[in-house]
A and B are shown apart, each in its own frame.
Chain A
Amino acid sequence: MTPGALHGITVLELGELVSAPYCGKLLADYGADVVKIEPPTGDPSRGWGPFPGDAPDRETSGTFFFLNTNKRGVTLDLATDRGREMARALAAQADVVIENRKPGTMASWGLDHATLAAANPDLVTISITPFGQTGPYSDWLGTDLNAFHLSGASSRYCGRPGEAPLEHGTFAADFYGAVTAATWGLAAVYGRARVGGGQHVDVSCAEAIAATFVGGQNIGGCAQDGRFERRTGVGMPLGAPATILPCKDGHVWMLALEPGQWNGLARVMGNPEWMTVDIFQDMYQRAQNADVIYPLLIEWTMEHSKREIMDRCQAEGVPVTAVFTVAEAAEHPHLAARGYLTEIDHPALGRVRDLGAPFRLPASPGGPARPAPLLGEHNAEVFGERLGLGAAALAALHRDGVI
């Protein structure tokens, strides 16, 4: 079989929870050899679940499973000198170290980029944190929630006016930071020969969103004119219809802005007279009459299912989509036809369905194929292969609580 595109890249992940593990997973899914170091108590996401039947078990956490496929797992207590020494020895042989500890933690362990690069000048160290390695908030405590709301994204784009700004209901900032880190980190690996060695890649999850999502479309105007906008609770307040509306069995994302789309929607709805009124021919005028338009549309959507609305609108070229639940998205025939979902055998979970490769590389396979590691599953294999430790040495390390 053709090896994955990143075959031959050796990665050491000292990550926990979401951001660094997802970055490691992206590299592992496309063929990098990723060894994940966990403390003897395990990555805390092993405690997050979801667990089958809600029965907590550090080997059956769905979050840990999803984020750590294709990796090998070892345990090391980095609070011990021996544990840190072994981590340094592994890093000396690695192309990439990925970590998401609070800034300063890696240095306190003697595992910061400067120390590791002294022994391994080609090393790329990827640090992913809510706020970054520098700046006044670098020593602040932070989580995915803090990062997201420091980015401007929620205040500008999500929530009703007067109510709390909202995040996505998933770890949006951590995922965004992880993807950013994987891209910039892989570029640093790819270009090592060009630039004369490895380097430290400092990713702030909040900054990536603040710049590329919020900044891109808002910051120039705000700097020049001193004006800025806030969330409205409506999908697109300037044009209509462009928002989420309730329907018979859930919700649809109703979008019909261009004249052809509006007329297509009218056809789907049986050309009601009100839709042909002159002042409703323009998306801006429709938005100014949103209090009239939306209730009339809802009257119709409430009589139809999300699938029916989506299918009939799409057939008329109107970009309306159903707001799928997670189950509806997962079971959609389109994803089945594309083979997006996959199944993986896991020693404790049995056969598990998983989301497949995030993108298709036809010439080089990708996506999860091996389950997330059990806690310390590859201690003997990795410490034997990389550090030359035999059974007796491993037993001693185990006895001393290092692994």
Chain B
Amino acid sequence: MTTPASTLPLSGVRVANFGWVWAGPVVGQTLGFLGADVLKIESRARIDLTRMLPPFAEGVRDPDRSLSNHACWAGNGSVSLNLKHPEGRSLAKDLIARCDIVIENFGPGVMEGLHLGWDDLRAVKPDLVMFSMPAAGLTGPLKDIRTYGLSLTSTTGLDSLVGYGDGTPIPVENAFSDPYNGIMGAFAILAALRHRDRTGAGQHIDYSQQEAVMQMVGPAFMDYALNGRSAGPLGNRHPRAASAPHGVFPCAGDDRWIAIAVTHDDAWRALAAAMGDPAWATAPGLATLAGRLAALDALHEGLAAWTAGFDDYELARRLQAAGVAATPVLNVADLLRDPHWRARGTFIEVAHPLGFTETIYGAYVKTSRSAIEVRPGPRIGQDNERVFKGLLGIDDARYRTLVESRIIY
């Protein structure tokens, strides 16, 4: 076997990423972690709002110092181009002619308005893979729907399943669908890239975030398809009632909880034994899943009364040893100190070229052959010289003019 050129599977793949805010940048990040050269195209003429999200490194408010922006965008490089200017758009096309993939997450028609639509781009790069991820797809009566990532899920049925079981949906307080679609979007691109390699043909991927997220509703959808039923909020109960008890129970301390899933009858016997076999738990009716489901409210109440006195981590270890799937419910600060995430290097401290250190997430998937190196989030325009001079062959004098006239900006 010859020595490979790189340990990264997407080395040699180049991406122009027009993605903004969260979902689009995560598409680029995913490809970037895996070795692609991803160039986010952005501009100081219209700074991405997530670059201004606090907190900032060392408290200094600056578009190159937003800590959350860096974590969500790491893996992307950055070139700055003012797309309001015709010459900026022309340079973008020159760059795209040297790319395999274009990513964008604007609404339908925005790229066309910039003269960077699918027809414009395949004219300069015939086998291009273009990835568009509007909220509800490129076609259809809702194609121009206005949503934010955190409420897009309401159009899929997913939000109708979240809540305590009193029928009131509880909002998820951030856009779960953004990173989910960001990662899944990279899968769509890889599939199209393989098609290109086999056939020579590029394509324009129509990725509707609504349709992709709605897949998560699949099991509940099948109950509608087969029985005409629509479920309501389920709390933490098992979505298919195949496990009981199944929930989150209070522990000692401020906002401490334990998640317990009893997946089979032996685990219930083990849990009852751990509780000291109280009379309510050893009732013969509870020996089977059907019996436990029938008495679920009382069961959960009894269990909650017992867990409330324990430390969450200590109880989880004790129940695990007894054969019960039990885990502490972690808060944000716990993520940084939890021994499991520390052992897996989930969060890493990196030195930023601007002179500060920051904590971002690292390779959240472990690959046995690929050594994934995660670098800090990109500064605006950090790759300008490499790309415009090196890749596009622009000479020093013209480069200076482009910078002075705020086209490279």
* B327 CB within 8 Å of chain A: yes
On chain A, the residues within 8 Å of B158 by CB distance are 168-170
On chain B, the residues within 8 Å of A325 by CB distance are 157, 160, 230
Q: Would you give the shortest CB distance from B85 to chain A, in whole angstroms?
A: 26
- Contact segment of A274-282, A315-323, A377-385: A315-323
> Known interface pairs A157-B173, A219-B360, A224-B57. Does A337 touch B140 (Cβ–Cβ under 8 Å)?
yes
* A271 CB within 8 Å of chain B: no
Q: How many A-B residue pairs have CB under 8 A?
A: 533
On chain A, the residues within 8 Å of B370 by CB distance are 188, 191, 195, 199
Contact across chains for A224 and B195 when beta carbons are under 8 A apart: no
Contact across chains for A220 and B71 when beta carbons are under 8 A apart: yes
* B343 CB within 8 Å of chain A: yes
Q: Would you give the shortest CB distance from A267 to chain B, in whole angstroms?
A: 15
Cα distance, A170 to B211, chains bound together (Å): 16
Interface of B is mostly: mixed
On chain B, the residues within 8 Å of A262 by CB distance are none
Contact across chains for B364 and A201 when beta carbons are under 8 A apart: no
Contact across chains for B9 and A188 when beta carbons are under 8 A apart: yes
- Contact segment of A33-41, A71-79, A230-238, A394-402: A230-238
* A291 CB within 8 Å of chain B: no
Contact across chains for B346 and A253 when beta carbons are under 8 A apart: no
Contact with A along B190-208 (1 / 0, CB 8 A): 1111110011011111111
Contact with B along A344-375 (1 / 0, CB 8 A): 00000100111111111111101000000000
Contact across chains for A326 and B157 when beta carbons are under 8 A apart: yes
- Which of B240, B324, B330 is in CB contact (< 8 Å) with A155? B330
On chain A, the residues within 8 Å of B10 by CB distance are 187, 190-191, 194
Contact across chains for B137 and A360 when beta carbons are under 8 A apart: yes
Contact with B along A208-234 (1 / 0, CB 8 A): 101111111111111111101111111
Q: Would you give the shortest CB distance from B158 to chain A, in whole angstroms?
A: 6
* B116 CB within 8 Å of chain A: no
Cα distance, A233 to B162, chains bound together (Å): 11
Contact across chains for A133 and B349 when beta carbons are under 8 A apart: no
> Known interface pairs A223-B336, A330-B157. Does A168 touch B365 (Cβ–Cβ under 8 Å)?
no
Contact across chains for A140 and B240 when beta carbons are under 8 A apart: no
* A207 CB within 8 Å of chain B: yes
Cα distance, A54 to B53, chains bound together (Å): 49
CB closest chain-A residue, reference B143:
A334
* B238 CB within 8 Å of chain A: yes
Contact across chains for A145 and B137 when beta carbons are under 8 A apart: no
Contact across chains for B226 and A204 when beta carbons are under 8 A apart: no
Contact across chains for B11 and A216 when beta carbons are under 8 A apart: no
Contact across chains for B365 and A166 when beta carbons are under 8 A apart: no
How many chain A residues sit at the interface, stated as a range, is: 35 or more
Cα distance, A179 to B249, chains bound together (Å): 29
On chain B, the residues within 8 Å of A357 by CB distance are 211
Contact across chains for A194 and B6 when beta carbons are under 8 A apart: yes
Q: Would you give the shortest CB distance from B98 to chain A, in whole angstroms?
A: 19
- Which of A52, A134, A203 is in CB contact (< 8 Å) with B227? A52
Cα distance, A343 to B361, chains bound together (Å): 41
Contact with B along A49-67 (1 / 0, CB 8 A): 1111110000010110111
Interfacial residues of chain A within 176-203, with CB under 8 A of chain B in the complex: 176, 179-184, 186-188, 190-192, 194-203
On chain A, the residues within 8 Å of B159 by CB distance are 244, 253, 323
Contact across chains for A217 and B174 when beta carbons are under 8 A apart: yes
Contact across chains for B141 and A195 when beta carbons are under 8 A apart: no
> Known interface pairs A196-B369, A207-B344, A362-B204. Does A155 touch B331 (Cβ–Cβ under 8 Å)?
yes
Contact across chains for B205 and A220 when beta carbons are under 8 A apart: no
On chain A, the residues within 8 Å of B191 by CB distance are 5-6, 30, 186, 361, 364, 366
Contact across chains for A214 and B187 when beta carbons are under 8 A apart: no
On chain B, the residues within 8 Å of A179 by CB distance are 180, 183-184, 187
* B5 CB within 8 Å of chain A: yes
Q: Would you give the shortest CB distance from A135 to chain B, in whole angstroms?
A: 4
Please, how many residues of chain B have a CB less than 8 angstroms from a CB on the other chain?
160
Q: Would you give the shortest CB distance from A189 to chain B, in whole angstroms?
A: 8
Cα distance, A327 to B232, chains bound together (Å): 11
On chain A, the residues within 8 Å of B361 by CB distance are 210-212, 215-216, 219
- Which of A170, A340, A361 is in CB contact (< 8 Å) with B203? A361
Contact across chains for B214 and A207 when beta carbons are under 8 A apart: no
> Known interface pairs A150-B328, A170-B219. Does A196 touch B203 (Cβ–Cβ under 8 Å)?
no
> Known interface pairs A145-B261, A194-B6. Does A326 touch B155 (Cβ–Cβ under 8 Å)?
no
On chain A, the residues within 8 Å of B143 by CB distance are 334
On chain B, the residues within 8 Å of A337 by CB distance are 139-141
- Which of A165, A318, A323 is in CB contact (< 8 Å) with B160? A323
Cα distance, A211 to B335, chains bound together (Å): 9
Contact across chains for B346 and A207 when beta carbons are under 8 A apart: yes
Interfacial residues of chain B within 312-365, with CB under 8 A of chain A in the complex: 320, 323-336, 339-341, 343-344, 346-347, 349, 358-362, 364-365
Contact across chains for B193 and A235 when beta carbons are under 8 A apart: no
Contact across chains for A191 and B35 when beta carbons are under 8 A apart: yes
- Which of A163, A181, A183 is in CB contact (< 8 Å) with B164? A163
Q: Would you give the shortest CB distance from A196 to chain B, in whole angstroms?
A: 4
Contact across chains for A359 and B207 when beta carbons are under 8 A apart: yes
Q: Would you give the shortest CB distance from A58 to chain B, in whole angstroms?
A: 14
Cα distance, A192 to B11, chains bound together (Å): 11
CB closest chain-A residue, reference B248:
A164
CB closest chain-B residue, reference A227:
B55
* A255 CB within 8 Å of chain B: yes
CB closest chain-A residue, reference B165:
A169
- Which of A6, A142, A152 is in CB contact (< 8 Å) with B332? A152
Contact across chains for B170 and A159 when beta carbons are under 8 A apart: yes
Q: Which residue, A49, A319, A337, A338, has most C-beta atoms of chain B within 10 A?
A: A338
> Known interface pairs A154-B248, A159-B170, A318-B146. Does A169 touch B161 (Cβ–Cβ under 8 Å)?
yes
* B218 CB within 8 Å of chain A: yes
> Known interface pairs A132-B366, A355-B214. Does A222 touch B336 (Cβ–Cβ under 8 Å)?
yes
On chain B, the residues within 8 Å of A286 by CB distance are none
Contact across chains for B6 and A195 when beta carbons are under 8 A apart: yes
CB closest chain-B residue, reference A54:
B227
Cα distance, A62 to B208, chains bound together (Å): 24
Cα distance, A129 to B240, chains bound together (Å): 20
- Which of A60, A228, A319, A362 is in CB contact (< 8 Å) with B151? A319
Known: A134-B343, A135-B343, A141-B320. 11 other contacts (CB 8 A): A152-B332, A152-B334, A156-B174, A169-B163, A191-B8, A202-B367, A220-B358, A349-B226, A357-B211, A360-B137, A360-B208
Pick the 6 closest A-B CB pairs, nearest first.
A191-B9, A62-B222, A220-B67, A169-B161, A223-B359, A211-B361
A-B contact pairs, 7 of them (CB 8 A): A207-B346, A211-B361, A219-B361, A223-B359, A355-B217, A360-B137, A364-B191
